Chain A
Amino acid sequence: MGRGGSRAAPAAAAPPWHVLPDEVWEHAFSFLPADSDRGAAAAACRSWLRAERRSRRRLAVANCYAASPQDAVDRFPAVRAVEVKGKPHFADFGLVPPAWGAAAAPWVAAAADGWPLVEEISFKRMVVTDDCLEMIAASFRNFQVLRLVSCEGFSTAGLAAIAAGCRNLRELDLQENEIEDCSIHWLSLFPESFTSLVTLNFSCLEGDVNITVLERLVTRCRNLKTLKLNNAIPLDKLANLLRKAPQIVELGTGRFSADYHPDLFSKLEAAFAGCKSLRRLSGAWDAVPEYLPAFYCVCEGLTSLNLSYATVRGPELIKFISRCKNLQLLWVMDLIEDHGLAVVASSCNKLQELRVFPSAPFDAAEQVSLTERGLVDVSASCPMLESVLYFCRRMTNEALITIAKNRPNFTCFRLCIIEPHTPDYTTHQPLDAGFSAIVESCKGLRRLSVSGLLTDSVFKSIGAHADRLEMLSIAFAGNSDLGLHYILSGCKSLKKLEIRDCPFGDKPLLANAAKLETMRSLWMSTCSLTLGACRQLARKMPRLSVEVMNDPRRGCPLDSLTDESPVETLYVYRTIAGPRSDTPACVQIV
């Protein structure tokens, strides 16, 4: 874009806007909060592209294979905070072969080279090795935030490198990672002079922790706001830690069980009473009901309560939750049952997000009394409820229709009826009508997971009505190719589609190939796809990476298979980096 205007203004007037220097645009772009807005601005013209990319500080790479690390470093040279996600979502449930990929090492290496000023690194579902952590500790002199979510491949040796090397570390946030325990006292490697910690989350660590060292660390880090412990910290030590850090805002208790002792109870109660800023609480694994009242003094202030690993049940649990009148987020096990959720509905009117997890997902005999009633009650009484994840064993269309009517403001609705193909238990009909009501009523729905007995007609509704839907998860549903066709030809905003065990075949995939380039990724496993269609898709769409995976335990030389061979798993994603070179033997890019 050149100097289009012919305004030969007098010297005193400001220059025309399109010749303003880059720094002005960079400052303007700093007010754009969303990366997508910045991306849109960058696409307007070359000078905006230059100004935007040179001033981008935060970068989120939602698929680590969509672009190469070098691409990212070259395009955005000034990045200070980077987040990279790796494996597809279904890796959480064991559907992705173990050595599939998503290594963090290339990203760390590129960052060490091109982004020496990086302060924050987040990895999700990636393989992070101890070498990566050592490189992070050695390469970034102002490194402050390390967040690892659902990662694997590292041990306490890597954590030791971080503790010893990152002088300015503010956040060490380890969420649900698989961490090998090398029996290294990594906590003691934080130097005595180190006081900058604001967040320390090691709840997923299975090993022991030196409690004296932890106490000293907590004492000298006066800005510590988030502390999430693992299950190696006994209850009385927890009380000590709280007394040393009364300023904390978020606490993960780890274990919360011990034989009941009135002394210990009083100690805990007093410790919690001192935590006037506590707003978010999690943990309470193995919680002993008699100790729950120790929390009572903080209930009023809690906005977030995560009891999703707590196997406590009964009246003490319900009484405790009912006192948390300001809860915005509640994660519980289905042990709360319908009557507990009814109490939540009447007490926690500010609730925005509810997740109910199954306590015995594989054991149909141990049934808890959690049904559609609980969800109906909560959605009726909590006007701000917008995000739900609900595991249950039965559902009706009527309940879903009622929920849809009461809560048109859902942005995330994930319902998992544990037994596949479960119909409406009163009418024995598929649950098409119920889910259709949800998508028709909730115009802002961004994420949806369906379950139960469903035919193609529900996908017709979803395709037609779910205009803002970005992520859709389907399992054991549909009865023909039409189902997939409805989704791919509709759903204007779809970014991620994951499907398993549905009778969807080649035709809708090939007919809607162009749609796939507008999406981030598509996962289809145990459907009716053939290798020939995947090959055809790859030929037709060169900017997609078409990965085919078969059972890793069967030797699978995919090259030798015919076009008619069935494909167990297909994972398609758009990429500017071309085919990746780190696939294991059972994954092939066609």
Chain B
Amino acid sequence: MSPPLEPHDYIGLSAAAPPTPTSSSSSSPSPAPRLTLRLGLPGSESPDRDGDCCEDVAAALSLGPLPAAPKAAAASAVVSAKRAFPDPAQRCPGAAKASANDKQQASPTAPPAAKAQVVGWPPVRNYRKNTLAASASKSKAPAEEAASGGGGPMYVKVSMDGAPYLRKVDIKMYSSYEDLSMALEKMFSCFITGQNGLHKSSSKDRLTNGSKVDALKDKEYVLTYEDKDADWMLVGDLPWDYFTSICRKLKIMRGSDAVGIGEIGAVHSTSYHINTSTNSAFY
């Protein structure tokens, strides 16, 4: 009854298929035969899943506004995002992320991901991914150099007083406080009407962003973070690498609210929340 169907050999595999190169870093001494596995739409250009076409894969993994790169490979760089949106960050973050996610590709200069991560595979719920990423960073905190980026991306929530919604950033994608503050400024500048942007009052930033100090005299913002002990601290005191391992959340506070944070002593998180709850839009 059903019309005859001609099986067309899409993948190029027959029943007795040669083995797929599973872990390119381990096992087979001689490279397994290259299979024309394609991720993405049929007929589109797609980076090979083998390790050889490094440049293609690296190019496809770069974030930012997407060119004609196939969905699967390009989206793989944001596979751990809560939503499959590219992060509006700059300067080869895709490469950094790829190296974070594929430790076996230990080349220090150009870290292409031989295992291009596919969106939504393995089928692990976003909630689980985020929870495990958070706990992985917590357990790696003590005294370990987190610069190697082990454990995957480290997403922290960024809230800002008066903003209607929060954002999430991967703090492992930045290499310094300046980086982070520039990115946050871009992200939240739309919430500051009539001003040029945010000013973080860490001493380092005052030196580098001297021009911005006087622009925001009446609306100074302070960047704070919540550490693993749930205390709110002023950003900027710690070495960057250590900071990324213990930062759990970021909050851009109005300068007037931030009195007592950091220098005088850590404010207990519960009482801090009580102070800001009156600012929240509730009834």
Taking Cβ atoms with an 8 Å cutoff, the residues of A that contact B are 90, 92-95, 97-98, 150, 157, 160, 176, 178, 180-185, 204, 206-208, 210, 232, 285-286, 308-309, 311, 357-359, 361-366, 391, 393, 416, 418-423, 428-430, 432, 453, 455-457, 473, 475-476, 479-482, 485, 489, 500-501, 503, 505, 507-508, 511-512, 526, 528, 551-554, 566, 568
Contact = CB atoms under 8 A, between A and B. Distances in A.
A150 B42 CA distance: 33
Contacts of B71: 526, 551, 568
Contact of B280 (A93, A182, A208): A182
6 contacts: A94-B84, A416-B123, A428-B19, A479-B13, A480-B8, A480-B10
A13 B19 CA distance: 78
Contacts of B147: none
A479 B126 contact: no
A503 B84 CA distance: 24
Interface string B1-45: 011011111110111111110110100000000000101111110
Contacts of B84: 94, 97-98, 552
B191 interface: no
B186 interface: no
B277 to A, nearest CB: 5
A185 B17 contact: no
B39 A501 contact: yes
B256 to A, nearest CB: 17
B150 to A, nearest CB: 8
A507 B117 contact: no
A90 B81 CA distance: 15
Q: By DSSP majority rule, is chain A's interface helix, strand, loop, or mixed?
A: loop
Interface in B129-144: 129, 131-132, 135-136, 138-139
A274 B18 CA distance: 59
A181 B276 CA distance: 12
A113 B3 CA distance: 50
A430 to B, nearest CB: 7
B125 A92 contact: yes
Interface of B: 2-3, 5-11, 13-20, 22-23, 25, 37, 39-44, 65-66, 71-72, 75, 79-86, 101-104, 115, 117-129, 131-132, 135-136, 138-139, 152, 157, 159, 165-166, 230, 269-270, 273-274, 276-277, 280-282
B277 A184 contact: yes
A430 B17 contact: yes
A507 B3 contact: yes
B17 to A, nearest CB: 6
B15 A457 contact: yes
Nearest to B114: A364
Contacts of A503: 8, 10-11
A285 B135 contact: yes
A416 B280 CA distance: 44
A95 B120 contact: yes
Contacts of B6: 481
Contacts of B15: 430, 432, 455, 457
B280 A482 contact: no
A551 B3 CA distance: 32
A547 to B, nearest CB: 17
A92 B123 contact: yes
Contacts of A568: 41, 71
A178 B138 contact: no
Nearest to A183: B273
B280 A553 contact: no
Contact of B118 (A184, A206, A420, A457): A420
A180 B122 contact: no
Nearest to B106: A365
A422 B2 contact: no
A93 B129 CA distance: 10
A416 B10 contact: no
A184 B277 CA distance: 6
Given A456-B7, A528-B10, A182 B19 contact: no
B37 A489 contact: no
Contact of B121 (A97, A185, A457, A475): A475
B125 A479 contact: no
A332 B22 CA distance: 25
Contacts of B131: 285, 309
Contacts of A92: 123, 125-126
B276 A183 contact: yes
B2 A511 contact: yes
